[in-house]
């Protein structure tokens, strides 16, 4: 079968080659991939692959062609969305049954492929924020898939979301999804906020912290700027007295991904969650799309399709 592998060459980070078809473990289903999503964070992984033989790809949608040998999960012929640990940019991928959710006919493979990483992150961020009804939330780096999903979910739950987006077009869309306010810079946000969700790092995190209300919570879940943070803890006395700063990882979950994936699929099917597809292209263009992601030429999710 054909699959993309990491090259270790910044000029061409991936190459499509022939590889062996996956060998299923007892709890894995074999999925014929119809579409997959690429995320900006994966471009960072390609710069330094985590292990020998690793292949990229964590967001897929397709058809189960072999069910898990242990009988768990979706069965042959069912359309699914999946979140494998790796190797999804391929014609076939073995996915743990606990990382698969069945798709209704109303949800397309392109929509579904845009859900796993960004959608799971947004859904679990919302849980981390706690009861958000009536609370003010500041969200930095809101132009991407996580930002769009979180804004729509939080606004529907009764939160007042201020989203930070440098793009006027993306800002307008965030407003349509329920953001109470959209600002171009973190410093333009009018606090104080009960919760700050910070994903850019660098100089923005201390500014975001200064917008936090006393006893509020700042949740750090990314560092898109790739710049280190310098934080003066005396700044807590200037406003966010007794505030909490915590780290969040979407992978820190108590159980399998399938229930949360099924929730995301249900919300899309009911018209209550809208995947933001910034680009759809043939999977042969994966290397070019990755470069576009690095250069921030794509807003929302980028989805590659297999014929």
pLDDT, tens digit, 9 for 90 and up, residues 138-188: 999 898 889 999 999 999 999 999 999 988 888 899 999 999 999 999 999
CATH number belonging to domain 122-247: 3.40.50.720
Q: Does domain 2-115+275-305 have CATH number 3.40.50.720?
A: no
Q: Where are the domains of the chain?
A: 2-115+275-305, 122-247
Q: At what angle do helices 286-294 and 40-47 cross, to 10 degrees?
A: 100
Q: Is the entire prediction scored with pTM above 0.85?
A: yes
pLDDT beyond 80 at 217: yes
Position 286 scores a pLDDT of 95
The pLDDT tens digits of the residues spanning 254-301 come to 789 999 999 999 999 999 999 999 899 999 999 999 988 888 888 778
Mean pLDDT score across all residues of the chain: 92
Position 180 scores a pLDDT of 97
């Amino acid at each position: 079968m054909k699959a993309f592998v990491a090259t270790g060459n910044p000029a061409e980070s991936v190459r499509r080659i022939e590889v062996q078809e996956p060998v299923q473990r007892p709890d894995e289903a074999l999925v014929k991939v119809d579409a997959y999503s690429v995320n900006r964070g994966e471009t960072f992984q390609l710069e330094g692959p985590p292990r020998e033989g690793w292949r990229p790809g964590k967001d897929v949608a397709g058809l189960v062609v072999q069910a898990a040998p242990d009988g768990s999960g979706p069965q042959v012929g069912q359309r699914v969305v999946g979140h494998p640990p790796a190797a999804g940019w391929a014609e076939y991928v073995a996915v743990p049954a606990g990382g698969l959710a069945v798709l209704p006919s109303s949800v397309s493979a392109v929509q579904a492929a845009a859900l796993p990483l960004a959608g799971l992150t947004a859904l679990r961020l919302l849980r981390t924020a706690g009861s958000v009804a009536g609370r003010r939330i500041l969200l930095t780096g809101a132009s991407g898939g996580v930002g769009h999903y979180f804004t729509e979910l939080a606004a529907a739950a009764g939160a007042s979301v201020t989203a930070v987006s440098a793009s006027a077009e993306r800002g307008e869309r965030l407003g349509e999804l329920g953001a109470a306010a959209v600002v171009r810079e973190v410093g333009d946000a009018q606090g104080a906020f009960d919760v700050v969700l910070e994903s850019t790092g660098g100089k923005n995190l201390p500014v975001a912290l200064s917008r936090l209300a006393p006893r509020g919570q700042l949740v750090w879940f990314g560092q898109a700027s790739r710049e280190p943070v310098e934080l003066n803890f005396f700044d807590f006395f200037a406003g966010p007295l007794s505030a909490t700063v915590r780290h969040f990882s979407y992978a820190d979950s108590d159980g399998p991904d399938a229930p949360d994936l099924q929730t995301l699929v249900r919300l899309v099917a009911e018209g209550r969650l809208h995947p933001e597809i910034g680009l759809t292209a043939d999977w042969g263009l994966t290397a070019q799309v990755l470069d576009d992601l690095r250069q921030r030429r794509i807003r929302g999710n980028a989805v590659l399709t297999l014929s």
